[in-house]
């Protein structure tokens, strides 16, 4: 019997949210295109997800669907673990607060199997409703959710990595949208397995820092000059308030407290890196980009902003916390370190590094 070779690997990293997984799984079962494998990577601290998978969900799946227990990993490590398990030609992420729209895998396959790009972005949307997660697996399989295709032309255009980078750090629109929507994150991008191997070779691993989506997006922008974008709504996510990142210690808290507790590391990082700010995405995402710059030896594409822009962004966060808050103290420490090493009015830009791929 020949080994099964899926075209897509679809991973779902999850943690302590067992009842939410049925919606994504149901939307996958409904797809016309069937040449895929699905891997649920359970990073839970209890056995609820495992019990729920085998008692409820697995009754409606087949051998293409796998349950794997990771458990006790940091978010970035769990994503790394999940992607390492993939055997498909392209890897997609279906989070536990996402569903696929009907027949989108067939659409993606028709493009990727012919053009075979290293990666391709596509449209995604967020709904403010949590209703996606209130129904069982049978309902999810047998029903579909209707969403308007506003602006979905089902055409492909190319996104310029350098231009998107510049738009991000200078808070400017890109194609009438904020540039963050055109960064290749896990939830809006199909990554070829060969391209993922190139990221690993260049950066050591796919995911690091505090935000997997942002890390792989910035690494991809660093490696590819042009990225195809499929203008079609492929998946829908529930409200961001339903994100795991919003529970417990937030990424912002983590980032600020890390900077406060490890000032020497960040003093070196700030003193030797270019300056940019991501005011609408958040401080911790700026740190992700900064760390990618450090690891890529300054090849990140198109960064150009005044030093003062980053300082202003940091100072803006001080207004969010009391003066005695350790996050405030951490921000002030970074600003002080940074002002010692840069001219606030100067611009910094990294150049392209040719022939990366």
What pLDDT shows up at residue 259? Answer: 36
- State how far the Cα of 293 lies from the Cα of 199, in Å rounded to an integer: 14
Q: Tell me, what DSSP letter sits at residue 181?
A: G
Angle (nearest 5°) at CA 323 between 319 and 328: 70
Per the CB < 8 A criterion, the answer to whether 184 and 119 are in contact is yes
- State how far the Cα of 172 lies from the Cα of 177, in Å rounded to an integer: 9
For domain 8-144+153-244, give the CATH superfamily: Spore Coat Polysaccharide Biosynthesis Protein SpsA; Chain A (3.90.550.10)
Alpha-carbon torsion (183, 212, 239, 139), positive or negative: positive
**Residue 232: helix, strand or coil by DSSP?**
strand
Per the CB < 8 A criterion, the answer to whether 168 and 278 are in contact is yes
* 191: phi then psi, degrees, rounded to nearest 5: -105, 130
- State how far the Cα of 191 lies from the Cα of 112, in Å rounded to an integer: 10
Pairing of strands 36-42, 8-14: parallel
Q: What is the pLDDT along the chain (357 residues), one digit of tens a residue?
A: 457 799 999 999 999 888 889 989 999 999 999 999 999 999 998 999 999 999 999 999 999 999 999 988 888 889 999 999 999 999 999 998 889 988 999 999 999 999 999 999 998 887 766 667 777 888 888 876 666 555 556 889 999 887 887 676 555 678 777 666 788 999 999 999 999 999 999 888 998 766 788 789 888 988 888 999 998 889 888 765 555 544 433 433 433 344 333 333 333 333 333 333 233 234 445 555 555 655 555 455 555 556 676 666 667 666 766 777 666 766 677 677 667 766 777 665 444 344 333
Q: Count of alpha carbons within 13 Å of 59, Cβ hemisphere only?
A: 10
What pLDDT shows up at residue 152? Answer: 59
**Residue-range domain boundaries for the chain:** 8-144+153-244, 248-348
What pLDDT shows up at residue 164? Answer: 82
The residues with which 29 forms a beta bridge, in sequence order, are: none
Per the CB < 8 A criterion, the answer to whether 98 and 28 are in contact is no
Per the CB < 8 A criterion, the answer to whether 24 and 95 are in contact is yes
- State how far the Cα of 337 lies from the Cα of 98, in Å rounded to an integer: 41
What pLDDT shows up at residue 83? Answer: 97
Per the CB < 8 A criterion, the answer to whether 338 and 307 are in contact is yes
Which positions ≥6 away from 269 have C-beta within 8 Å? Answer: 290, 291, 294
């Amino acid at each position: 019997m020949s080994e099964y070779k899926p075209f897509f690997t679809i991973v779902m990293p999850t943690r302590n949210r067992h009842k939410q997984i049925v919606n994504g799984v149901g939307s996958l079962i409904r797809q016309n295109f069937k040449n895929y494998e699905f891997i649920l990577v359970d990073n839970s601290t209890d056995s609820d997800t495992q019990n729920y998978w085998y008692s409820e969900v697995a009754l409606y799946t087949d051998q293409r669907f796998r349950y794997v227990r990771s458990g006790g990993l940091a978010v970035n490590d769990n994503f790394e673990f999940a992607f390492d398990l993939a055997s498909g030609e392209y890897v997609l992420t279906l989070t536990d607060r996402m569903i696929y729209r009907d027949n989108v895998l067939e659409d993606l396959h028709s493009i990727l199997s012919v053009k075979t790009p290293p990666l391709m972005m596509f449209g995604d949307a967020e709904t403010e409703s949590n209703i996606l997660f209130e129904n069982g697996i049978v309902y999810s399989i047998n029903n579909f959710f209707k969403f308007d295709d506003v602006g979905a032309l089902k055409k492909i255009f190319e996104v310029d990595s350098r231009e998107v980078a510049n738009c991000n750090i200078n808070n400017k629109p890109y194609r009438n949208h904020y540039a963050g929507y055109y960064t290749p994150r896990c939830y809006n991008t199909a990554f070829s397995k060969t391209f993922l191997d190139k990221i690993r070779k260049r950066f050591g691993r796919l995911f690091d820092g505090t935000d997997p989506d942002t890390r792989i997006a910035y690494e991809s922008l660093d490696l590819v000059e042009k990225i195809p974008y499929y203008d079609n709504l492929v998946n829908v996510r529930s409200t961001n308030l339903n994100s795991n990142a919003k529970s417990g210690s937030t990424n912002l808290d983590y980032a600020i407290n890390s900077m406060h507790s490890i000032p020497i590391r960040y003093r070196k990082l700030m003193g030797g890196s270019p300056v940019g700010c991501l005011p609408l995405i958040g401080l911790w995402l700026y740190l992700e980009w900064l760390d990618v710059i450090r690891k890529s030896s300054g090849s990140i594409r198109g960064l150009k902003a005044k030093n003062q822009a980053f300082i202003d962004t940091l100072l803006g966060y001080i207004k969010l916390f009391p003066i005695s808050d350790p996050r405030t103290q951490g921000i002030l420490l970074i600003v002080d370190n940074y002002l010692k090493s840069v001219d606030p009015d100067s611009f910094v830009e990294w150049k392209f590094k040719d022939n990366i791929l």
